[in-house]
Amino acid sequence: MREPPRRFTVIVCRGPTCGDVRNSAALTAQLRETVAERGLEEQITVTEETCFGHCLRGPNILVYDTDEMKGTRVFGPGAGVPSAVLYNRMTGSDLARIIDRHLVGGMVVRPLLNRLPAKDP
DSSP 8-state secondary structure symbol assigned to residue 52: -
Q: How many domains does one find in the chain?
A: 1
Residue 77 lies in a domain: yes
Query: Is 1 among the domain residues?
Result: no
Answer yes or no: is 65 within a domain: yes
- CATH number for the domain spanning 47: value is 3.40.30.10
Q: Is residue 39 part of a domain?
A: yes
The answer to the question of residue 49 being in a domain is yes
> Is 3 inside a domain boundary?
no
Burial class (CB in 10 A: 0-12, 13-18, 19+), 97: middle
Higher pLDDT, 16 or 73: 16
Integer Cα distance of 22 and 40 in angstroms: 26
Domain that holds residue 22: 8-112
Q: With CA atoms as reference, report the closest residue to 107 among 86, 83, 91.
A: 83
pLDDT in tens, 29-72: 999 999 999 999 999 999 999 988 888 889 999 999 888 766 55
In a domain, 2, yes or no: no
Of the candidates 10, 15, 58, 6, the residue with the CA atom closest to the CA atom of residue 35: 10
Which of 67, 90, 89, 62 has its CA nearest to residue 78?
Answer: 62
The model's pLDDT over 73-91, given as tens digits with 9 standing for 90+, comes to 444 555 566 778 999 999 9
